[in-house]
Structure 1
Amino acid sequence: MSIENNKNFGLVPSVLICDSHYMTRSSFALLAKEIGSCEVVEASDIKTAKIKCEGVSFDLILLGIDEGNEEISLIKLIRDNHLLPQKDVPIIVMLKEITLEKLTELKSLNVAEIILKPTRMKTIYDTFLRYL
């Protein structure tokens, strides 16, 4: 179910934010709470995010990529429909640097947006609002 469909039925969209940096996660969660637009579930690592995705069908996923292997693996599991979020759920990734190889890989996994770190909260906010 897309976020737009959730709005039509009066349901609050659920968003998973997985990032190793506490300030990124908590700032986003606080922002979402302030505007009352969604329910935010936080995960500090990929292992926890995967467990959360086994039990909840999120409407949007924000994923901080540090090294990339585990994070890419999680995206592949979602895209292959092995976890609860629908395989076409919008995924926004945040990473420190981008190479042509990484860009190609992320685009092949149908990543909706790529945000470079460090980023201002406004950038995350603006990106987030495009999907709500």
Structure 2
Amino acid sequence: MVKKAILTVGLLVLSNAFMTLAWYGHLKFKEMNWFSNLGLVGIIFISWGIALFEYSLQVPANRIGFSDNGGPFNLWQLKVIQEVITLTVFSVFAIVFFKSEPFRINHVIGFVFLVLAVYFIFKK
């Protein structure tokens, strides 16, 4: 069970890295010469291609981790884990690539509440 939990979380982290890149990475494309002249349709197709990798990791993560498939997590737990991972990956991405968007105390407080959500979702 521990191996499935670790594999599930690892796949979700990788999945969310691709999804964050697909959803927000294109906002930095204008700074790259090759992408700077692409129109919206081109950006959509590139983001869609990146998101394909997200689905290739997200679907196995959920199948491996889901309790009805022999995994350690119920549906609610999978969703809350995914949300916390999404915000963590997004925060790292935003801090590294979008330095004009500061990380503030209200963000920290919001994350504390999300961690509390994880606690309550896992509480029996």
TM normalised by structure 1 equals: 0.31
Structure number with higher relative contact order (C-alpha < 8 Å, ≥ 6 residues apart)? 2
Structure of larger gyration radius: 2
Flag the structure with higher strand content: 1
